[in-house]
Amino acid sequence: MGIDLQKASFGKRIIAHIFDVLLVCVLAVGFITIISSSIGYDSYMEKYENDMKRYESQYNVKFDITEQEYNDFTEAERKNYETACTAFSEDTSVIKNYNMVTNLMLIMFTFGFLLSIIIIEFVIPLFFKNGQTIGKKIFGIGLMHIDGIKVSNVQLFARTVLGKFAIELMIPLYIIIMLSFSAVGIVGITILLILLITEFIFLASSDSNPLIHDKLSNTVAVDLASQKIFNTREEMIAHVKAIHAERASRSPY
């Protein structure tokens, strides 16, 4: 890098990030509520819950039980429970409603968080400049290219959508949703661990403490109070040359 890096402190970055995450979550809840009403999620969820109650009543069982409760069953109770589960899982109406519930849930969370993240992490920084979100603005943090050039809209969009939304949010969120429906097992947990380990490796491997979204966009969080950010590479090169020339003129040799 041709200039000194005045990176933002890790503590400030964490606090600003938490603040922005809270804003994203608040917006996402609003968007998810609106989307849920418009696509009829509640009606399919009600149908699925009614199907479950119908089978529980028919077989005199309760599907939502712990492993210990299952182990405490008598042989007859266990056989009845397994018969109920099989019948429930093979019912075409149940399958349809289950698929609709999971698919609509993914749609709700995907677009709810996509819209909220784009607003907080992309649209607002376009007005504040230097990649500043509300949290970064409060704590005097900005973004720039690793070479000291101001972050471009393309970089900011890639950082927001590919890094923060797709990789750091939606992949873990999809896995967690699928785990709640018992749709994925060890593979999903392995992917979550790989993402977490990757984040720690990136944090520890560089003085700028980047995360995945910074690596993807070649950006770094800096302290705007002390960091000079250049509009173009040519401007940065000219600045560095001027500094070198000034130092050379002061040298007695």
Task: Answer yes or no: is 241 within a domain.
Answer: yes
Q: How high is the pLDDT of residue 208?
A: 61
Q: What total of structural domains would you count in the chain?
A: 1
Angle (CA) 96-97-103 rounded to 5° is 90
Residue 148 lies in a domain: yes
Nearest-angstrom CA–CA distance, 164 and 24:
11
Say if 5 falls within a structural domain: no
Tell me whether residue 39 is in a domain.
yes
Question: Does the residue 70 lie in any domain?
Answer: yes
Residue at 14 is within a domain:
yes
- Contact call for residues 139 and 132 (beta carbons, < 8 A): no
Beta strands in the chain (DSSP E): 141-145, 219-223
Domain-embedded: residue 1: no
Contact call for residues 27 and 173 (beta carbons, < 8 A): no
- How far the first Cα of the chain sits from its last, in Å, is 26
- The single-letter DSSP state of residue 230 is B
pLDDT of residue 1: 45
Q: Which domain holds residue 30?
A: 10-248
pLDDT by position in tens, the chain (length 253): 456 778 888 888 889 999 999 999 999 999 999 999 999 999 999 999 999 999 999 999 998 888 888 889 999 999 999 999 999 999 999 999 989 998 898 899 999 999 999 999 999 999 998 999 999 999 999 999 888 889 999 999 999 999 899 888 888 888 887 777 666 678 778 888 888 888 778 776 766 657 888 888 888 899 998 888 888 888 877 877 777 777 677 766 5
The verdict on residue 23 lying in a domain is yes
Residue 229 has a CB neighbour count (10 Å cut-off) of 20
In angstroms, rounded to a whole number, what is the distance separating the alpha carbons of residues 186 and 47?
Answer: 30
Give ∠ CA 93-98-101 in degrees, rounded to 5.
125
Q: Is 54 helix (H, G, I), strand (E, B) or coil?
A: helix
